[in-house]
Structures are given as structure tokens and as C-alpha cells.
Amino acid sequence: MVEANPFDLMAEEYDSWYDSDRGRPVYESELKCLFALVPERHLPVLEIGVGTGRFAMHFQRAFGVDPAFSALKIARNRGVRCVNGAGEYLPFRDEAFRMVLAIATLCFADSPQALFDEACRVLTPGGCAVVGFIPGDSPWGLLYEKKKREGSPFYRNARFSTFDEIEAMAEKAGLHSESVASTLMQDPAGPLRVEEPSNRYVQGAGFVLLRLERKRSP
């Protein structure tokens, strides 16, 4: 029996968190971090694991792929061109995009390495992938691991990797680290505020973005 996708069953509930008192400062901090690392918002962009389109909607001509139909309906209403599918098996030709995003997606992938391989495949030489993730060894990663143990439907199958593990998977796929930014340095248990990003990897940060380049052929 196929397990029901909670992001399909509860898409509106998940999306509403971004507008909640706790979700809003987290979301705005993550957006600031993304925009600091990705100034070019006019390129054709593919977001893997686009969900309800909260990040892709800020990019012109954005495509999104996700296995959750209900989430894609919300993303489509936000102007994202959506395709149903999994990041490990992207339904796009080789070298189709100059930029690929994967924001808080790797922890939900059945095979993060396969997702990296596919991201590299659909990128043009010289194109970049931007990967945002919650480091598993950060206070935020530990908080979500606790949610997982407590039976959260959204995090029950999540696996949170460390910065070094993410970077190693990217390198194996042929994506080389170009720059990094961090945010959510605050205590996840306390009152939350919008943060300015740091343009480096900060140990303990709850959200880290890596900008990775697909090398051109010699």
C-alpha cells in the first residue's frame, strides 16, 4: 500500500504556517538569505520540491516540480508553471535550465544523491544549483528530529544531513561550491525575528544555502 503524502493531504495547512506568527519571521529570513545568494531572478528557474510555490513565485518564468498535486495547485495560482514528478526523476531534457533551486527539499528526498545527479543533468554548463537545507546537527535540525520522533506527519520520513554531507553529495554529482549563506542563528525555542543573512557557513545556523556551479567542459 502506497503511503499517503502529507504535503498532498494537508497542503493548505502546511502553506498557512508561512503566514503564522512563528512561520513568518522564519520564511522572511530564508527569503533574505536566498536573495542575497541569488540576485538574478529573471532567469528560467526550476525549483525541485516546489511545494506551494512560496520561493519559486519570486522568480520570473519559474517552473516547479513536486509529487504533491494539492501543493502544486497552490503554486500554480501563484504563477509557477508546475509539473508533477519527483526530484530523483526529473521530467526535463538535459541542460534545460540555467538555475535549479532545491529549498528544504533534500531532507524529504528518497535519494538525495539522485536528486543532486538530476539537478546537475538538467543544468546548462556554467549554470548553478542553489540548495537550501536545515543542518541536522544544528539546534533547528534537532528540533525537527524531535518533531519527527513525536509523529509529525510532515517530518516522519525526513532525514537531516550535515553541511559536510550535503557538500560531499554535490561534489559527487559534479556541482562545485561557489558561495554559501546562513540564517536562523537564533534559538528556535525563543521568540523569533527576521534575520539578516551571513555570507558564510555559520555552525549552528538553522538554514544554510549553498550556491553550486556545474563546471563547463574543458
CATH number, residue 170: 3.40.50.150
Q: Which of 51-55, 125-129, 131-135 has the lowest mean pLDDT?
A: 125-129
C-beta of residue 107 within 8 angstroms of C-beta of residue 161: yes
Q: Which of 125, 56, 114 is nearest to 89 (CA)?
A: 114
Instruction: Give the domain range for residue 37.
Output: 6-214
C-beta of residue 130 within 8 angstroms of C-beta of residue 100: yes
Q: What are phi and psi of 84, to 5 degrees?
A: -80, 130
Total domains, the chain: 1
Q: For residue 218, name the pLDDT band (cuts at 50, 70, 90).
A: low
Sign of CA dihedral 3, 161, 148, 16: negative
Global confidence as pTM: 0.93
- CA 3-47-205 angle, 5° bins: 85
The pLDDT value recorded for residue 1 is 44
For residue 1, is it within any domain? no
C-beta of residue 181 within 8 angstroms of C-beta of residue 36: yes
Average pLDDT over residues 51-76: 95
| pLDDT of 32 over the 90 cut | yes
- Which set of grid coordinates corresponds to residue 217? 567542459
